[in-house]
Structure 1
Amino acid sequence: MNNLNLEIPAEVRDFAEKTVDQARKAFESFVVAAQKATAQSEAAAESMASSAKEVSSKAIGFAEANVKAAFDLAEKMVHAKDPKEILAIQSEYLKTQVAAVQEQAKSRGEAVKKVVTHTTETK
């Protein structure tokens, strides 16, 4: 065999070492940025889920209140003595429900606005 004495020059080794070091630092910076982005994304998703849960809970609460009011109406109407009393009961129910639905719509709108505002702020 030939006795080749091939030695890598010190300049090439220094250059390779610097290149590896720069690549390592660039990768570490990328990992840190990816971790920050992931954390922000997770926080936004958790906040969005919490807000969506709040909106859903309100909607269920409103539905429950409206159904209860309808049952209360039915109970009152069953005990009415004449058509005039039925009309009075029904008229009062309609006034009450219109006010309740308006308040519910306002509350739902505020909750949805909160979700949308928070979502756009986290982007």
Structure 2
Amino acid sequence: MSTDKNGFDIPDQMREFADKSVDQARKAFDDFMGATQKAVSNVEDSASVVQAGATDVNKKALTYAEEHVDAAFKFAQQLVKANNLEDMMKLQQDYLRSQMENLGEQAREFSNSATKAVQDAAKASQKK
């Protein structure tokens, strides 16, 4: 059992249980994402110009969601292994800063992809 000077106790069995739970949840999510990506891939095979733009936006959204869930699992695993409250607070601060940076970049990329999809769809409808 680990104890810090502030009396913060987490039994070793509890840490192991939490670590296994995070691993099991990550595996379930990875399986779900694999099935989702396979379904998206099947839809892509029959996509038109309009669908191609939407597919790109959808793929980005799925990728971003996967990245955020992956980061959350990593954060959870780090929290489980934290030795004290100070470490937990530092991990939380680092996680939030990283997520905000990622969200900003992803919002820009998502906006660019969505704009391109709309422009491509407009061009395709003008040709008809």
- Give the TM-score normalised by structure 2: 0.59
Distance, in Å, in 2 between the alignment partners of 1:73 and 1:53 is 30
CA RMSD of aligned residues (A): 1.2
Question: What is the match of residue 114 of structure 2?
Answer: 112
Q: Give the CA deviation at 1:121.
A: 2.3
- Pick the aligned partner of 1:68 from 50, 70, 92: 70
Distance, in Å, in 1 between the alignment partners of 2:115 and 2:123 is 12
- The structure that has the greater radius of gyration is 1
Question: What is the match of residue 102 of structure 1?
Answer: 104
Question: What is the match of residue 94 of structure 2?
Answer: 92
- Give the TM-score normalised by structure 1: 0.61
Q: Give the CA deviation at 1:71.
A: 0.5
Question: What is the match of residue 51 of structure 1?
Answer: 53
Q: Once superposed, which parts of structure 1, at least 4 consecutive aligned residues long, lie more than 3 Å away?
A: none
Instruction: State the number of aligned residues.
Output: 79
Distance, in Å, in 2 between the alignment partners of 1:119 and 1:53 is 12
Percent identity, aligned pairs only, is: 29
Residue identity in the other structure for 2:52: S
Distance, in Å, in 2 between the alignment partners of 1:119 and 1:66 is 29
Contact 2:82 2:88 survives alignment (8 Å): yes
- Give the 3-state SS of the residue equivalent to 2:93 in structure 1: helix
Residue identity in the other structure for 1:73: F
Distance, in Å, in 2 between the alignment partners of 1:82 and 1:90 is 13
5+ residue gaps, structure 2: 1-46
Deviation sequence 1:10-58 (CA, Å, 0-9, x none): xxxxxxxxxxxxxxxxxxxxxxxxxxxxxxxxxxx81111111111111
